[in-house]
Chain A
Amino acid sequence: MVKNLTNVTSLSGNGMRDWLIQRTTSVILAAYIIFLLAFILCHQPLDYMTWQRLFSHFGMRLFSSLFLLSLFWHAWIGLWTIVTDYIKSASCRLISQLIIIIALFLYFIWGLVIFWGTPL
């Protein structure tokens, strides 16, 4: 019998959904990372103009935002799994989950500021 995930700290509240989100975001993360690595390797020696022009492109800003959202979600599900597996004390677990989700949220906002704040 499949039991529903009753843990309140799971963002989606459903293990099946978490599983699917983890896979979907992984594909986006992989695409972004492979694209970025390929770009850097194809533009050696890399200069500021090329680098800045790439990130000031509107499509790239959208891609970067999608990357940040995927990173936030993917890292949360991964870290949530690790924390619920290894930290048995409920208070320690809740505190670490709180620290992790706040950190990830701030990274997300910081990333948005970086990618949308790049001068045109």
Chain B
Amino acid sequence: MSKRPINLNLLTIRFPITAIVSIMHRISGFFLFLVIPVFLAIMALSLQSPEAFFTVHSCFAHPLVKLLILAFLFALFYHLVAGIRHLLMDAGVGEELKPARLSAVLVIVLSISLTGLMGIYLW
């Protein structure tokens, strides 16, 4: 047996920020997949007739619906920003550990700020 240190205490194991950003990219993508039919239903209704458009429009004024839209927008912005980070890394930008950690933090900060801005706008 090798004498490498072993730490299996789950309370002290912490994921690095880059791993958290990576798994959240997956989770947000899966969530967005689940939302596709809702998005399509809204598109269908809003383009059907002026009356249906009005119904959708007035539904969006409800505070609970606004919260759901914000949850969707957060997943969308997160997936989008994390995706752009991926594309930049594919292009060879910021692949080192330090910039990767920085951009991971940036993904979280940016997606939360964008969602916050939309929240202010919606209310």
Hey, which bits of chain A sit against chain B, CB under 8 A?
A: 23, 26-27, 30, 33, 41, 46-48, 51-52, 55, 71, 75, 78-79, 82, 100, 104, 107, 110-111, 114-115, 118
Contacts and interface: CB of A to CB of B under 8 A. Distances in A.
Contacts of A107: 36-37, 40
Contacts of B76: 33
A79 B30 contact: yes
Contacts of B57: 46
B47 A55 contact: yes
A32 B1 CA distance: 55
A48 B53 contact: yes
Q: Which of B29, B33, B54 counts the most chain A CB atoms within 10 A?
A: B33
A57 B57 CA distance: 22
Interface stretch (B3-11, B80-88, B93-101, B104-112): B80-88
Contact of A48 (B36, B54, B83): B54
A100 B47 CA distance: 27
Contacts of A23: 87, 90
Given A48-B49, A104-B36, A114-B43, 11 more contacts: A26-B83, A26-B87, A51-B47, A52-B53, A55-B47, A75-B32, A79-B30, A82-B29, A111-B43, A114-B47, A115-B43
A23 B83 CA distance: 9
A78 to B, nearest CB: 5
Interface residues of B, number: 24
B46 interface: yes
A71 to B, nearest CB: 7
Contacts of B102: none
22 contacts: A23-B87, A26-B83, A30-B83, A41-B121, A46-B57, A48-B46, A48-B49, A48-B53, A51-B53, A52-B47, A71-B36, A75-B33, A78-B30, A78-B33, A82-B30, A100-B33, A104-B36, A107-B40, A111-B43, A114-B43, A114-B44, A115-B43
